[in-house]
Amino acid sequence: MATSSDFIDGLQTATERFLTKRRMTKRIKREKQKAKNPIVDWIEAFVWAAGVVLLVNQYLFQAYQIPSGSMIDTLLIGDRIFVNKLVYGPELLPGIAKLPSPFQPKRNQIVIFENPSYLSKGPAFDVAQRVIYMLTLSIVDIDKDENGEPRPHFLIKRAVGMEGDVLTMERGEMSFRFPGETSDTKERDYLAAAGAVHPVNRLMAESDYPVVEAAGRAAAYDDLALAAPAELSAASAGISSVRYPDYLSYDRSRLEVLRAASPQDGRYAALLARYRLGWYVPEGRIFPMGDNRDNSRDARYFGAVKKSKVLGEAMVKYWPFARIGPVR
């Protein structure tokens, strides 16, 4: 019959075996570590670190560099920021379906999304580009155009319009017609009432609009293979001195002349309608725009963006050092 002494002896023996085996395992591991090639050791460490960086960038926070001046003064060219990718549900893999999230983009948030105008070079290239971009914290971008400039796969803009809104522009000034309302609210009045702190910058002076609109009308005569009236040519002569002309006003003026010249052509009526009637934001989409309105290619050109294409919210600027701080 087993006694307490036998139990204690058995426990002691098992403990000694366990400790001996653990010491041997550690010794073998140390010997293997000593025998390992330093280059292999370095590669293993790099692969491990790269894996951590990829996981953090893909699912939590990703670094991006601001490539253009469309968000001046909120974000400047060359600013490096971290984007919260968890908030709207991260992608399972780059370019693959997203995980669900209880949160949705809100008005005036700065978001990053897939560029609807981007022409992909193929899924393998897209994945490779995004992996390298994430591993180097936005320093290396292999996706270049023929001039060596980065192709904008992703855009960073402000969520200005939300689903159900109708947005219109008159000489560069935005107005909202919110769901259920019959009158428009000018953006500047809305921002003042909402206490928003971000500026809406304009690079084009109000006095330049007659020149830009005249240039648009003169371009319509050229499209019709007709000579523009002398007074119209004279009025549009200063267009070259307008550095950031409002292309939307230019195009609207051009289409108005083309529509009047060819009222039977439904194409001109359809194109002109978006300027006269504005942009409607369908359900499940947002209308992102740059804070620097006269130097931003945004939803006014490519339309409202699906919320499923919104990858994250701009969170903080981390470089240059003098500009470290939250993004608002």
pLDDT tens digits for the chain (328 residues)?
556 666 666 666 767 676 677 777 776 666 666 655 677 677 777 777 777 777 777 788 888 889 889 999 899 999 999 999 999 998 887 777 788 899 999 999 999 998 988 888 877 787 788 778 777 777 788 888 888 888 888 899 999 999 999 999 999 899 999 999 989 999 999 998 888 888 899 989 999 999 999 999 999 999 999 999 999 999 999 898 998 899 999 999 999 999 999 999 999 999 998 888 999 999 999 999 999 999 999 999 999 999 999 999 999 999 999 999 999 8
Look up residue 22 and give its two tokens. Answer: 């653990």
Q: Are 254 and 220 in contact (CB under 8 A)?
A: yes
305-310-314-318 Cα dihedral, nearest 10 degrees:
-120
Rounded alpha-carbon distances, angstroms, from residue 246 to 77, 158, 202, 315 = 21, 19, 10, 30
- Top CATH class, 52-165+292-326: mainly beta
Q: What is the pLDDT, as a whole number, of residue 6? A: 64
β-partners of residue 118 are none
Distance CA 150, CA 155 (A): 12
The domain spans of the chain are 52-165+292-326, 206-271
Q: What is the pLDDT, as a whole number, of residue 145? A: 81
Q: Are 251 and 212 in contact (CB under 8 A)?
A: no
Q: What is the pLDDT, as a whole number, of residue 66? A: 92
**CA-based nearest residue to 307, from 283, 275, 323, 274:** 283
β-partners of residue 109 are none
Whether a cis peptide bond, with omega within 30° of 0, leads into 320 is yes
Look up residue 214 and give its two tokens. Answer: 């005249």
How would DSSP label each residue in 35-74? HS-HHHHHHHHHHHHHHHHHHHHHHTEEEEE--SSTTTTT
Q: What is the pLDDT, as a whole number, of residue 314? A: 96
Rounded alpha-carbon distances, angstroms, from residue 13 to 16, 18, 178 = 5, 9, 79
Residue type, 154: F
How would DSSP label each residue in 160-219? EEETT-EEEEETTEEEEE-TT-SS-EEHHHHHHHHT-----B--S-GGGHHHHHHHHHHH
Q: What is the pLDDT, as a whole number, of residue 10? A: 65
Q: How many CA atoms lie within 13 A of 46 on its CB side?
A: 8
Q: What is the pLDDT, as a whole number, of residue 126? A: 78
Distance CA 147, CA 178 (A): 42
Q: Are 316 and 306 in contact (CB under 8 A)?
A: no
